Structure formats: structure tokens, C-alpha cells
Amino acid sequence: MSITLALQLAEGAIGLSLLSALVSFFPATIRRRVAMPLFTLSGLVALAAGLVALINGGVATAQLPLGLPWLPWQVRMDVLSGFFLSIIGVVSFAVGIYAPGYVRGFEGGKDSLRVLGGFTGLFLAGMMLVVLADDAFMFMVAWELMSLSSYFLVAWHHDSAANRRAAFLYLLMAHIGGLSILLGFGVLASFGGGFTFEAMRGAPLSFGWASVAFVLAFIGFGMKAGLVPLHAWLPEAHPVAPSHISALMSGVMLKVAVYGFIRFVFDLIGTVHWQWGVAVLIVGSLSAIIGVLLALMQNDLKRLLAYSSVENLGIIFIGLGLALLFLAEGHPLIATFAFVAALYHCINHALFKGLLFLGAGAILHSANERDLEKMGGLLRRMPWTGFFFLVGSISIAALPPFNGFVSEWLSFQAALQAWQLEGGVLRSIVPIVASLLALTGALVAATFVKVYGVAFLGQARSRAVRRARRVPLSMRAGQGILAFLCLLLGVLPTFFIDLINAVPREMLGQGLSQVSAHGWLWLTPISQQTASYGAPLVAMILFVALVLGLWLVGRGARRVRLGDAWDCGYAPPTPSMQYTGTAFVQPIRRIFGLLFQISDGVETQQDGRRRYYLQVVDRAWGLLYAPIARWVEWSSRQVVRLQSGSIRTYLGWTLATLLLLLWLVV
């Protein structure tokens, strides 16, 4: 086995996904039998390719028979590509298993399943091509393929105006971001003398130009990753797509943006500066806090999950910011540490966010409901989905022994190494970021207590939810795979970190050599004295103690007697007497009210009944998007003046342009 094999496997995976796209346009019987299995297989092959690359290390390149004459498309496989390819692969695999059952719910609907299948295949191919691209030209083409195909997936339910609007916003933002990335590549290419990544790596950059390139890349990739304040499109676009596509978009496509950022900053630019680290840290912490607070306020389940993606990307960028900071200050070991934490969170977020979106899809499939306030009691109607969703909730809330906790733990430990920094100011800022991370973690726990408590526990709040049925086996299997991986990555972190270590070893020159120095039971990133986490032991003791407790306390025929809820002796509670999601977050909404645009009050309706209304709006709309929209509208109106209708004026403009161009050229 070698890295070349990995590259060949990856090319095979891309071929399979394209084939799956093609097959989707065949008649329905063939499509149903072949398209999704091909997609699943493509995911599996991509995962295999990624793992082979991670295990072997090294670099392999190849030329594709496509592209411009003087710039043939080059693909390149290294460990970073392999890492992200395996993330793409594993989630696509689970989604591929889940999708047939889910898509069957759309059979006979208005929207074309051919289009859905076709663009899903193209979307996957686009993402894989992005991580394999070895020159800016191919990168941008693949990037656009990814963006455009996902645009069509977002716009798939196109009969509602809100969906079309969301899709258009998504397209617009994707292109502004794409433009920014292109300009960033332009800066590197002009100094490096070519559009291949190889040429860009050698570009001699001054601090100023490097910073320009960095800022452009940060805006471009940050926009795709949904970082605050450029996040507002994300919670509009992601929930609109079918749920398995939302899982791919939130779980995987955002990671491709992270890949782009890492490739651009850590690999292509090369030398980094601490100012960038501080900028990334600040943006990351803001995204984490604002993302989770906005997630907490949502009552639409998929929208809530999308906002939570903003928060998780914030956490990933906190890790990357720490890595930049430590790297620039000359502490490569701690930088590696923070980098590994960020990468670990990339996998984790892909797994649990994929899982949660698939769970939301299952609810949508069987109860046709996205509104939390109409759910309730789903755990008894859909026990397996309920169980998997619980696993996802615990993982995302960063609680041991699941995977979210491991990356959170690593991030905290990396931040705690701040005492090694030289500058006193940096040394005091980094722990403050850590405390923001702690606040984020606690708020995420509150968010998912709300989601799980309102949706799965209690009593059903609407008729459709009361009659929800369990979903087909394939959908449960898709969720089960991801849930199992969430547990596996939480319990055996040393194996996975040893695997990931190949990435920093290639990118930063060293890995975390101490991680499993004390055996696979102990996760010791720096040394045993500094910090250790015996994840398998914690999981094992929890499990054994639980079993023991159940046996000691609840053994034998000690059944429980059932009756009405006590509820302080009031009348038996009805579903409408339960605490709602809105009520649940009221204290937090009140404390952090400054961050939202809240309008609420009591209005008297026409029939004389009174109704409480509440609207929580993201401030990004008012502060950033609305002014830009106004400015664009204003400038367009100025341009409209050119259109006077007189043909001689147009010719005059043409002449002026021609003269200007000639003057510029000569």
C-alpha cells in the first residue's frame, strides 16, 4: 500500500460519485437500485483512500486529462487531503445508507428526484475535487462545482418563495466568498509566478502582502464556514435543503472550507504572524458565543442545528487561531496541540452534526414537523431515533465519554499552555478565550437539553407528532453508524490522535509524540504530569458502575407503579401545560438580550383573544447585511443613470472605455 494507491482510490471515489450522478437520470427502477448504492460506495472508497493516506504519509501527484493547455489540472494527495477526504467519506457513507429511505418520502411529489440524485452526486464529487486540487485554477473550478450543485440542492423545494430567497442568498454569498478566495490566490500567484500550489508555496511575501492574502482567504473561507459576522446566510440555506443534504452541507462542506483555510494559511503562505492568530481567535470566539446563543433562541429544529454549526466552526477556528498564535510565537509543540484539537473537532462536528441532521430528517419524515413547539414525546414513538439523537446531543454538548468532549478537552489544554507565551497581554487574552469556550460549552448543553427535552420527552403537542411512526431500518442504520463513531472517538481518542498526528507532522514539522506514550489508556498530550485523560477508563467505570447500580438497586421484581404525574398535587398535566422551548430559554434570552433584536408583546387579535408574540432576530442583518444591501441598491441606482436610452450616449461610453483601456495597456 502506498500513497499512490490512496490517490487512485480517491480518483475512483470521484468517478463513482459522478457515475451515481449520471445514473440518477436513468429510469426510476434503475435509479432506485443503483444510484444511492454507488454514492455509498463512493463514500466508502473515499474513506479508504483517506485512511491509506493518513497511515502511509507522503505525497502523490497526478495530472488529469482536463484543464487549460498551459495549465493541466493537477491532483495531489497528501495527509491533509487524506484527512479531509476521510471526513467526507465517512459522512457520505452514512448519508448514502440513510438516504434511500428518506428520499422515498418524496416519491410522487412535485420535485424531481432525478435532479436531487444528480446534484447530490455532483456535490460529493465537487467536495472531493476541492481537497485534491493542486492548482488554484482547479481548486476554484471544483469549489464552484461544489457551491453550484449545493445551490441546486438548497433550491430543490423551489415552490416556496422563502426557499428560493434562501437559495439565492446562498448563491450570492458563495460567490462573494469565491471572489475573495480567488483574489487571495491572485496575490500568491503573482508573487509565486504561477497558479500551481507548488509555485505559490515558494512565493516570497512581505508581511503586508502576506496579510492581504491572509485577510482575503479568511474572508472567503470564513464566509463559506459561516463565521460571525458573515454567517447570516448559513441558517437560511442549510435547513432548506432535504435533511440528508443538510447533513452533508453542515457536516462536510463546512469542513471543506476549513480545509481551504488550513491549506491556504498553513501550507501555501507558510510563515504566519501572531496578529493573524489574534484575529482568528477573536472571530472564532465571537462565532462560538453568538452562534450558540442564536441556536438557543431557535424553535425550528433544522435552523437551530444550522446555527449550532456556526458555533462549532467557531470552536474549530479558536483551535486554529491558537495554533497560529503559538506557531508565530515560536512554540511549535503547543501549536501542534491546538492544531490537533481543531482537526479532532472537525471530525467530531462532522459526525455529530451529521447524526443530528439525520435525526431531524427522521422526525421530518415520520411526523412532517420541524417546529420544536409542536413536538414532544417522540422518544416513545421513535425509540431508536430518540436514542441516537441523545447520543448526538451528548456528543455536541461536549460531555464525557463522547467525542465532543475530547476535542473540547484538547482545546482547553492547548489554551492552558498560554503561560509559555512571552507577551503578557497574549498570556492574559488566551485564558479569557478559554472562559468564552467554557461559556459556549455550557450554553450548548442548555441548547440540547431544550431540544431533546422539548422534542423527545414529555407529551406530544400536535396530532402529527402523536402519530409519528418509526422510520425504516436503513435510516436507523445511517444514524446508528454515526452514533457508534461518536462513542468510538470519545472512548479511544489515542488511536485517532495517533492517526491525525500525520497531518501536523507534515504541515508543522512535528506531531504530538507523547499522546499515547503511557499506553492507549492514557491520553497525555504534553506529559503525564501536565494533563491526562483516561477516556477508556472513564467510559468503562461509568458503564460498570451503572450496571452494578442497576443490579444492586433495581434488581429483582422491584417494579415501579404507574400513575398520574404528581406535579405538586395540581390537576394532571396536559400537553399544553408543558414548558415550551420559548419558555425554557427565557432567562438566558433576558440576560443576553443585548445581542439580539427582540420584539415581543401581547397583541389583541380580531376575535378579542390575546396572543403573546416573540421575535428574535439576528443582529447581523441590521448591522451588516442591511447596510450592504442598501449600498448595493444605491450604487445600482447610480449605474442605472447610464441607461439613458439614447444610443449615442452608449456609443460615447464605449468610446471612453476604449480610450481608457488603450491608455492603460500602452
Residues 91-120 that bind other proteins (CB under 8 A): none
Kindly tell me which of 68 and 591 has the beta carbon lying closer to other proteins.
Answer: 591
**What is the footprint of other proteins within residues 214-273 (CB under 8 A)?**
none
3-state secondary structure of 610: strand
Please report which helix (H) or strand (E) contains residue 361, including its range: helix 332-367
- Residues 6+ away with beta carbon under 8 Å from 436: 285, 288, 289
The bridge status of strand 610-618 relative to strand 596-604 is antiparallel
- Sole binder of other proteins in the list 127, 324, 429, 486 (CB under 8 A): 429
Site for other proteins in 533-562 (CB under 8 A): 533-534, 537-538, 541-542, 545-546, 549-550, 553-554, 558, 560-562
Buried b (16+ CB within 10 A) or exposed e, 448-485: bebbbbbbbbbbbbbeebeebeebbebbbebbbbbbeb
- x/- string (CB under 8 A) for other proteins, residues 376-405? xx-xx--x------x---x--xxxx----x
Under rule CB under 8 A, which residues in 579-598 are in contact with other proteins?
A: 579-580, 583-588, 590-591, 594
Burial bucket for residue 106 (CB in 10 Å: 0-12, 13-18, 19+): middle
Q: Under DSSP, is residue 299 helix (H, G, I), strand (E, B) or coil?
A: coil
Among 457, 488, 595, 624, binds other proteins (CB under 8 A): 457
**Residue (574 or 638) nearer to other proteins, CB:** 574
Least Cα distance to 185 among 171, 170, 174, 199 occurs for: 199
- The CA-CA-CA angle for residues 492, 493, 498, to 5°, reads 115
What string of DSSP letters covers 470-513?
PPPHHHHHHHHHHHHHHHHHHH-HHHHHHHHTHHHHHHTS---T
For residues 343 to 382, the per-residue mask of contacts with other proteins, x marking binding by CB under 8 A and - elsewhere, is ---------------------------------xx-xx--
Task: Supply the minimum distance, in Å, between the C-beta of residue 318 and other proteins.
Answer: 14
Residue selected from 17, 180, 308, 413 as contacting other proteins according to rule CB under 8 A: 413
If 0-12 CB within 10 Å is exposed, 13-18 middle and 19+ buried, where does residue 514 land? Answer: middle
Q: Choose which of 328, 364, 445, 624 interacts with other proteins (CB under 8 A).
A: 445
Nearer to other proteins, 71 or 487 (CB): 487
CB atoms within 10 A of CB 312: 31
277 in Cβ contact with 321 (< 8 Å): yes
Q: Is 64 helix (H, G, I), strand (E, B) or coil?
A: strand
The CB-of-619 to other proteins minimum distance in angstroms stands at 15
Which x/- pattern over 462-501 shows residues binding other proteins (rule: CB under 8 A)? ----------------------------------------
Q: Which 3-state string (H, E, C) describes 570-585?
A: CCCCCHHHCCCHHHHC
What minimum distance in Å lies between the beta carbon of 640 and other proteins?
35
Rule CB under 8 A: which of 590-649 touch other proteins? 590-591, 594
Looking at beta carbons only, is 183 or 538 nearer to other proteins?
A: 538
Task: Looking at residues 503 to 522 of the shown chain, list those that interact with other proteins (rule: CB under 8 A).
Answer: 522
C-alpha 273/C-alpha 289 separation (Å) is 25
Min dist CB 351 to other proteins, Å, is 18
Residue among 439, 477, 488, 499 that touches other proteins (CB under 8 A): 439
Rounded Cα distance between 612 and 609, Å, is 10
Cell of 127: 467536495
Residue number, 193 or 383, with CB nearest to other proteins = 383
**Smallest distance, other proteins to C-beta of residue 355, A:** 17
Annotate each residue in 563-582 with x if it binds other proteins (CB under 8 A) or - if it does not, as one string.
xxxxxx----x-x-xxxx--
- The residue (of 464 and 577) whose beta carbon lies closer to other proteins is 577
CA 647 to chain centre: 51
The least distance separating other proteins from the CB of residue 361, rounded to whole angstroms, comes to 22
Task: Report how far residue 280's alpha carbon sits from residue 318's, in angstroms, rounded to the nearest whole number.
Answer: 7
**Is the distance from CB of 150 to CB of 123 less than 8 angstroms?**
yes
Complex with other proteins: residue 593 or 622, whichever CB lies closer: 593
| Cell 425550528, located at residue | 300
Site size for other proteins (CB under 8 A): 89
Pick the binder of other proteins from 454, 482, 489, 515 (CB under 8 A). Answer: 454
Which of 456, 315, 319 lies closest to 382 in space, CA to CA?
A: 456
- Minimal distance, residue 445 CB to other proteins, in Å: 6
Q: Smallest distance from the beta carbon of 75 to other proteins, in angstroms?
A: 41
Binding mask 18-57 for other proteins (x = CB under 8 A): ----------------------------------------
C-alpha closest to that of 213 among 284, 169, 264: 264
Q: Which is nearer to other proteins, 176 or 449 (CB)?
A: 449
Is 175 in contact with 224 (CB distance < 8 Å)? Answer: no
Shortest distance, position 498 Cβ to other proteins, whole Å: 19
Which of 203, 454 has the CB closer to other proteins?
Answer: 454
Please give the single-letter amino acid code of residue 354: G
Going by C-alpha positions, the residue among 319, 350, 314 that lies closest to residue 83 is 350
Give me the least distance between CB of 525 and other proteins, in Å please. 11
Q: Which is nearer to other proteins, 560 or 666 (CB)?
A: 560
Report the residue number, 254 or 418, with the smaller CB distance to other proteins: 418
Instruction: Between 199 and 538, name the residue whose CB sits nearer to other proteins.
Output: 538
Task: With contacts defined by CB under 8 A, name the span among 53-61, 201-209, 233-241, 411-419 that binds other proteins.
Answer: 411-419
Compute the least distance from the CB of residue 26 to other proteins, in Å.
44
C-alpha span between 651 and 510 (Å, rounded)? 63
- Find the part of the chain contacting other proteins (CB under 8 A) among 170-178, 434-442, 629-637, 652-660: 434-442
**Contact between 528 and other proteins (CB under 8 A)?**
yes
Shortest distance, position 295 Cβ to other proteins, whole Å:
13
Nearer to other proteins (CB atom), residue 237 or residue 296:
296
Exposure string of 544-583, with b = 16+ CB inside 10 Å and e = fewer, is eeeeeeeeeeeeeeeeeeeeeeeeeeeeeeeeeebebbbe
Grid coordinates belonging to 473: 431500518
For the CB of residue 276, give the shortest distance to other proteins in the complex, in Å: 19
Site for other proteins in 168-207 (CB under 8 A): none
Q: Cell digits for 120?
A: 447530490
Nearer Cβ to other proteins (240/398) = 398
Q: Which is nearer to other proteins, 214 or 405 (CB)?
A: 405
Pairing of strands 71-77, 610-618: unpaired
Question: Which stretch, 171-179, 217-225, 440-448, 623-631, contacts other proteins (CB under 8 A)?
Answer: 440-448
